[in-house]
Amino acid sequence: MNKFPKPNVVVSKCLGFARCRYDGKIVFDTIVRRLRPFVNFIPVCPETEIGLGIPRDTIRIISYRGKLHLYQPSTDKDLTRQMIQFTKRYLASLKDVDGFILKSRSPSCGINHVKIYYSYQLNAKPKMGKGFFASAVKNKYPYLVIVDESGLKNLARRENFFTKIFSLARFRMLERDIKESKYPLSKIFLNPFPKELIEISDLRKNRNK
């Protein structure tokens, strides 16, 4: 099975696709850049999608009376409803998604280590949790691999991510072509992703733990 189908991966738009961070900057991530020839990326920035500008004042997650709120201190705006509505609409529109690469520590996209404040006071001490968008992604797609760009720097996590997204993409191709018996099921996992991808991402050389 020599043809490798391209996985469909949702990615935070600020990771090399647009200058849409809160400070108007972009994050050039090496692994994301090297993946481009092998993956169909679907960039998204939840914060700009709900109408926040570039650059923009910071937002934070507030836990109040047992519920999480997305709040912008400088404008005293509660953006919770807008984010929930966008996230539901966006995730419902996705088809054949194989994985997610999200921006670390973001109040919208962070998959962990996101500051959650238990008071609206600016000097409140935070605890750690997940971003609004990332939390909804994990709830809707518990079977998919969801990482942030910092996680891809770890060898084991990176290899696990590659294996899962390419295996899912191959299953989709197999499903389309099974009636023609093009691809033996026994070969699905023999080469989970292209040899070139191993080389360009230094999977066998980089031993980051």
For the stretch 59-117, pLDDT in tens is 999 999 999 999 999 999 999 999 999 999 999 999 999 999 999 999 999 999 999 99
- Quote the pLDDT of residue 200: 46
pLDDT at residue 15 is higher than 70: yes
**Is pTM beyond 0.75 here?**
yes
Give the containing element (helix H, strand E) for 198: helix 195-200
- Tokens read off for 59: 């937002």
| DSSP structural state of residue 116 | E
**Is the model's pLDDT at 183 over the cut of 90?**
no
Residues whose CB is less than 8 angstroms from the CB of residue 194 and which lie 6 or more positions away in sequence, other chains included? 4, 38, 166
**pLDDT averaged over the chain?**
88
Q: What pLDDT, on a 0 to 100 scale, did the predictor assign at position 198?
A: 55
Residue length of the chain: 209
Q: How far apart are CA 114 and CA 30, in angstroms?
A: 23
The pairing of beta strand 145-148 with beta strand 99-102? parallel
Residue 171: is its pLDDT beyond 50?
A: yes
Q: What is the pLDDT of residues 135-154, one digit of tens each?
A: 999 999 999 999 999 999 99
pLDDT band, residue 207 (cuts 50/70/90): very low
The structure tokens 């696709």 sit at: 17
